[in-house]
Chain A
């Protein structure tokens, strides 16, 4: 129990204060500006956009602001603080701890996960070797994505995806447009089935997590920065298909969770997982069922009716609105059953607000 609370303390934010671990990587002028930001903004923003010689930009859920040199938010880009070359250079060196040579792989993939689980993506000039990207140099744009854990955000959908009789979960697919809380939801589902849900009489099971983009567990030096549960084994930065095979062979998980299915080789891996009797929870980018059917790889998966539960998210009302939960076998909506529980069941947006987002 102590372990869990310690993890929580590490993962959570001081309200009204930007995570120290983000401030630490910023250059001094930038740090001063960010420290002056009003708490209402800090609790809400998702992305910090830094582009050389262009205004400092904050992206909130569905809005965008510029920031002036004294930490005010504005909509007029001319008033904003313009990011200098030295800001970018300093951040980049801090990010890599002045050891760019240790990060060849990360530079190729274009992002680094920092302590605290925040992801920093960047673009610049690609260095090619034999026609393939070898590394990046002259970085000019940096995007710091604030990562927030929302514990309990999966509560509304949990009753629908677990099978209390057999103490197992259904094969589940989460469909969502980008930035609508897909990964956050997946992370909380993983945490809950890994820890167990006493109120539903669900005992925790072993979960294998293939975290190709370091988003779910947000590992820093291999240690998960987010609470992904007591019985979760994380394969960090591992290609999905290969990772799924590895987990089946090595860790005997009950459930395998992974993010953003979409490549052709993923299908074979998914089938392998299912044939091994392992439950699968995964996500895919898309607006709704019709939308993802246009993608041949996903369509193939859907045709085989592999997924028993399909959760559709949208960001129309708030981040992480559960539009619908579909029974993949029968093709009908399951949400009506829960709706009786009140509006809360339908969206975890309110929970989001409570957690300061």
Chain B
């Protein structure tokens, strides 16, 4: 009987610690993903402004260079534009943003910024495009700062909180 109790206690502590770690991971990853997104967009900007690469190829080229969700997001957008669907840049961008929203730790406000950016993607001349890129970079930089602050505040707390709360539950119940 005692063994069961001890085992149950250990499991409870482990599960709680794990949940805490998950939450703290979320806070740790978001700034990294925003940073990655920013450098990807920077590359896209270069492709557009200096090489005048058409969007599907530019998105593909950028996507290839990142082996994470951000890279896959770009590749997916490119595939939507060239594949059977033949979507316009706006439609493809929006569709793959939905995918990104489900598969990354970006928040709603990050996605909204990207969504607004997508409306103007590819449908104006070079100079105009650059303005939109500058704007989105600025907004994302701001988001990154916020995400960083939240990480500092919450990451460590959640990491420990999981373990301690698990322990608390075990103590109360026993």
Which residues of A are in contact with B by a Cβ distance under 8 Å? 24, 90, 93-94, 96-102, 104, 107, 127, 134-135, 137
Contact = CB atoms under 8 A, between A and B. Distances in A.
Interface residues of B, number: 21
Interface string B44-61: 000010001111101000
Given A93-B90, A101-B122, 12 more contacts: A93-B123, A94-B88, A98-B54, A98-B88, A98-B122, A99-B58, A100-B122, A100-B124, A101-B52, A101-B125, A104-B126, A127-B125
Contacts, number: 55
Interface of B: 48, 52-56, 58, 81, 86, 88-90, 92, 121-126, 128-129
Contacts of B48: 99, 101
A135 B125 contact: yes
B70 to A, nearest CB: 20
Task: Among A100, A101, A104, find the residue whose CB has the most chain B CB atoms closer than 10 A.
Answer: A101
Contacts of A134: 125
- 6 closest A-B pairs by CB: A98-B89, A98-B122, A99-B54, A93-B88, A99-B55, A101-B126
A134 B86 CA distance: 28
A107 B126 CA distance: 13
B53 A137 contact: no
Contacts of B88: 90, 93-94, 98
B81 A97 contact: yes
Contacts of A99: 48, 53-56, 58, 89, 122
B90 to A, nearest CB: 8
A283 to B, nearest CB: 32
A98 B123 contact: yes
A97 B125 contact: no
Task: Among A99, A107, A127, find the residue whose CB has the most chain B CB atoms closer than 10 A.
Answer: A99
B8 to A, nearest CB: 58
A28 to B, nearest CB: 10
A102 B126 CA distance: 8
Contacts of A98: 54-56, 81, 88-90, 92, 121-123
